[in-house]
Amino acid sequence: MKMFQATVEVMRDQIGSTHYWNGTSDLELECASVRLRSRYKNHTSPWIEVQTSPKDALRTVFPRDRLVEVGRNVTFCCILPVGQKFKKMYLEWNGYNMDPAYSITNQIYALTFHLNQASGDSGIDIKCETDKATDGASVYIGYPPGDKDLQCETRDLESVECHWNVGRKTQLSVRNATVYQLLGSPCLDGSKATCSQKVQVDVGERNWTLTAKNKLGRVELSDSADLTKRVHMHAPVRMKASTVNARNVTLEWEWTVHQYNNLNITCQVNISHSGTNTPNFGVGLDFAVLNDLIPDWNYNARVRCGTTQHFWKWSEWTSISFHTKGDGNPDVTSLQKPLANQSHGHIRDYVVTWAKTTEIPQNRTVPYYKHRLELNLDTTEEYIVTVTARNINGSSSPSTITIPSLNLGMKLHKTESVKTINGSNGGFSLSWSASPMASCGYILDWCPTIGDCSVEWLKVPPTETKTFTDGVRYSLSVYACTQGAPVLLERREGYVREKNGLFKSLKTKQWDSDVEIFWDPINLAAQSAFIRGYVLYYDDNNTGLTVSTGIVTHLIILMLL
């Protein structure tokens, strides 16, 4: 028998009224008889039978359909029907170890469980087995709400919209789901961690309170915010390319919220070709002009916006695709093979012109399928070369390059000598001092030092080294880009990787005790590495000899003693 005791204070003006007392028993009340009595000073009332343990129970296991928080202990009882004998109580939960049941009376048995993990929607069954039947009850184990990090904003300047992190799942069924209230009003989409209410959006901070409650507990979240400084705009709608030209396009859009027309808005326009975000500003901004586009080109653009003053968040992106018109002036900057979608229309041919600075230009037409032209020029003179592409819309603006004379532009500035450079990972790493002559940047070219040098315009990613060949000496030149001919600043020679196998064989001559060892010099074209000298190793089984020479020597004489 277990006794609970509590004191209830009654004021004079409460005499004669009804009073309440709540007590919680570890044992379900259906599992035992309950008696109650009261005492005032030295006066004790007789016991009153509040509930009598059932004698003829139809259901034998209690409590039934109980909702319990993870980590709690719960005691279940089994009331035996008349004429039945108790066998065992158990929990239908794989891997759960339990103590044997104990008897409260000869008709009532009990067992306490420590429920240390969630049960899920289906619950867990507790069974009581007698000699004639088996009965059971279900228990549902879960968590109280664990929501946190409330953040409120406005999207339409007429309501507050709050978001939060749900945290740990309660593991409860839909009928026991968490109920949310914002400012005391129910949330329709609380299970999605969002809730909105119509409010008057005024200047000034205000407390926003969210309550999350289920049958196992309650949590209250708060956020203090001035909604006029937390405007999260909706994305632009009905966006269109209203004016499409060859090199510029006007994008227009609309707003679903009328109040946006009074806001100072900043929008970002992202273009697929460049990948850059171009900012645009304005009150009620609803258009943007895109310049410097490529004619006859497919574009994907997208726009997102936010408030300029008290910027809070960007809106979602709104996307659009458009195609610029063809143009009579497509840009051609080199004689590399163009991609199919970069020609601004089908190219019919190229026109190449060249001339000394004081002469009338000569020209030659190159078919569209060729992308190079060799010219025999006087290397002592400076030339201006242009390339123009032609399509059905007309001719491009000419691309121009100035070729310096060998006796001027191709001489090293400051009369510096050629330096060597070592390769690394199949390529070269270059750096040089800044030059005041470089008004438009720098030019770098490279080609094998020996043999024909065919210049190819090629953009090489940092990790791609297929342009260079092991064992080949390369000449690399750095020029200052000027308004006229480029000025050579620096020249280097090197191998990306040096290779062995320079010598074919050694030759010898002997006079008495002297031996002459010699070899053929290796010409530059055959050198697969820098030759900085020679080392000869000699061994007569008793003593060893090492001889080093300079780079010019091709002869060693050994005197054998």
Higher pLDDT, 56 or 345: 345
pLDDT over 90 (residue 106): no
Q: Which one-letter DSSP state was computed for residue 439?
A: T
* 148-229 carries CATH number 1.20.810.10: no
pLDDT of residue 167: 84
pLDDT over 80 (residue 472): no
Most confident of 38-52, 212-226, 465-479: 212-226
* Calpha distance 315→155 (Å, rounded): 9
pLDDT of residue 23: 65
* Calpha distance 380→377 (Å, rounded): 9
Q: Do domains 1-140 and 413-495 have the same CATH topology?
A: yes
Higher pLDDT, 15 or 155: 155
Burial of 176 (0-12, 13-18, 19+ CB in 10 A): middle
Report, as an integer, the average pLDDT of 103-117: 86
Higher pLDDT, 424 or 166: 166
Burial of 83 (0-12, 13-18, 19+ CB in 10 A): exposed
In this structure, of 66-70, 154-158, 228-232, the range with the lowest mean pLDDT score is 66-70
pLDDT over 60 (residue 469): yes
pLDDT over 70 (residue 457): no
Report, as an integer, the average pLDDT of 216-220: 94
Multiple choice CATH, 1-140, 3.30.200.210, 1.10.275.10, 2.60.40.10, 1.10.3720.10: 2.60.40.10
pLDDT over 80 (residue 87): yes
Q: pTM for the whole thing?
A: 0.53
By residue count, the chain amounts to: 561
In this structure, of 81-95, 207-221, 287-301, 320-334, the range with the lowest mean pLDDT score is 320-334
pLDDT over 80 (residue 407): no
Q: Answer yes or no: are the C-beta atoms of 513 and 561 closer than 8 Å.
A: yes
Report, as an integer, the average pLDDT of 83-110: 82
How far is the CA of 154 from the CAs of 148, 213, 234, 260, 461, in angstroms? Answer: 19, 25, 10, 12, 46
pLDDT over 50 (residue 460): no
| Phi and psi, residue 245, nearest 5° | -115, -175
pLDDT interval class at 8 (50, 70, 90): low
Helix (H) or strand (E) holding 539: strand 534-539
| pLDDT tens column, 46-64 | 888 766 565 555 668 888 8
Multiple choice CATH, 340-401, 2.60.40.10, 1.20.210.10, 1.10.10.10, 3.90.1150.10: 2.60.40.10
| Phi and psi, residue 175, nearest 5° | -70, -20
Helix (H) or strand (E) holding 196: strand 194-198
| pLDDT tens column, 548-558 | 555 545 544 44
- Strand pairing class (419-422; 487-495): parallel
| pLDDT tens column, 237-296 | 999 998 898 888 999 999 999 999 989 999 999 988 655 666 777 778 899 988 888 888
| pLDDT tens column, 420-453 | 777 767 677 766 666 666 666 667 777 777 666 6
In this structure, of 158-172, 251-265, 300-314, 527-541, the range with the lowest mean pLDDT score is 527-541
In this structure, of 19-33, 97-111, 194-208, 452-466, the range with the lowest mean pLDDT score is 452-466
Report, as an integer, the average pLDDT of 455-464: 40
pLDDT of residue 415: 41
Domain spanning 413-495 has what CATH number?
Answer: 2.60.40
Structure-block tokens of residue 90 = 């158990």
Closest CA to 412 of 430, 440, 432: 432
| Residue 481 bridge partners (DSSP) | none
pLDDT of residue 282: 75
pLDDT interval class at 327 (50, 70, 90): low
pLDDT over 70 (residue 376): yes
Burial of 450 (0-12, 13-18, 19+ CB in 10 A): middle
User: Average pLDDT of the chain?
Assistant: 78
Higher pLDDT, 158 or 1: 158
Strand order in the sheet with 66-69: 66-69, 134-142, 124-130, 86-91
| pLDDT tens column, 129-147 | 999 888 899 899 999 999 9
How far is the CA of 185 from the CAs of 39, 119, 197, 201, 225, in angstroms? Answer: 45, 31, 8, 17, 19
| Residue 287 bridge partners (DSSP) | 252
Domain boundaries, the chain: 1-140, 148-229, 237-323, 340-401, 413-495, 507-559
Interior angle at CA 277, CA 255 and CA 320, nearest 5: 50
* Calpha distance 561→550 (Å, rounded): 25
* Calpha distance 510→516 (Å, rounded): 6
Report, as an integer, the average pLDDT of 77-102: 82
Query: Looking at the domain 237-323, which fold is it?
Result: Immunoglobulin-like (2.60.40)
pLDDT interval class at 345 (50, 70, 90): low
Structure-block tokens of residue 532 = 């900085």
| pLDDT tens column, 482-521 | 767 777 777 878 777 777 766 666 777 877 777 777 777 7
Structure-block tokens of residue 454 = 């065919």
pLDDT of residue 302: 93
